[in-house]
Amino acid sequence: MATILMRLSEEWTPRQYDQCISLLTLGQDRILRNYIVNRILPRRGSVLDLGCGTGTLLIEAGRRGLRGVGVDINKSLLEIARNRSRKHNLGRWIDFRVGDVTDLPLNNDSFDLVVSTLVASELQSKDFEMLLSEARRVVVPGGRIAIGAEGLPRGRTVAGFFSLIRRLSFRLVSKFSRVRPHKVHEIAGAMSLVGITPKYRVRFLGGLLELYVAEAR
């Protein structure tokens, strides 16, 4: 449900976006991001963040000496990201661009790591597959891809309950935005279809949020 309502927070309250996401995910967005920063970021090289929002992840990467590009369709969020980057004197390390994560204006084999946290859960299945295809195209051979997205918790009863809440949330949110219902993505299978080898999965909040870490073939 959190990743469904996330879209509304983008459209209504861009300056309170980070606080909204933290509230909606019960703080798990920060834990997921810290996991990427501490365990997945390369020691050197470049990072692409798809759906970068206010740029929190890339700013931390820049502070560690990594070059980065952030792509997001929301201009208001990107302006916040650019202001943060300037505040930390990271303008020469990090570039934030308006763009569609399913059709990137970027060269092949350009990044050592491609990461996307939560934006996948806003996409229909076809668009999610296009995001993965683009991630595969722009990452270097053998590079890593990390995708965070909405999941379902273990257990038939609990999963059924959250599936019901998700459907009700879609019905509510669809009245106020362009978000439309779609299934929870089967990420590992979708990765394999586009030439990405899933390596492992990390579950957060009992499985409501998941991070898939993979390697490009």
- Provide the CATH number for the domain around residue 28: 3.40.50.150
More confident residue, 85 or 26: 85
Q: Tens digits of per-residue pLDDT, 54-90? A: 999 999 999 999 999 999 999 999 999 999 999 999 9
Q: Round to whole Å and give the CA distance between 80 and 47.
A: 19
Q: Round to whole Å and give the CA distance between 45 and 139.
A: 11
pLDDT for the residue 192: 95
Q: Round to whole Å and give the CA distance between 116 and 135.
A: 9
Q: Above pLDDT 70, what percent of the chain?
A: 77
pLDDT for the residue 207: 80
Asked if the model's pLDDT at residue 172 lies above 70, the reply is no
Confidence of residue 17 (pLDDT cuts 50, 70, 90): confident
Asked if the model's pLDDT at residue 103 lies above 90, the reply is yes
Read off the tokens for 85. Answer: 């980057």
What's the average model confidence in pLDDT over 146-153? 84
Q: Which domain holds residue 38?
A: 2-216
Contacts of 59 (CB under 8 A, 6+ apart): 81, 84, 85, 88, 90, 94
Q: Are 117 and 33 in contact (CB under 8 A)?
A: yes
pLDDT for the residue 104: 97
pLDDT for the residue 209: 86
What mean pLDDT, rounded, does the chain reach?
A: 85
Q: How many structural domains compose the chain?
A: 1
pTM (2 d.p.): 0.85
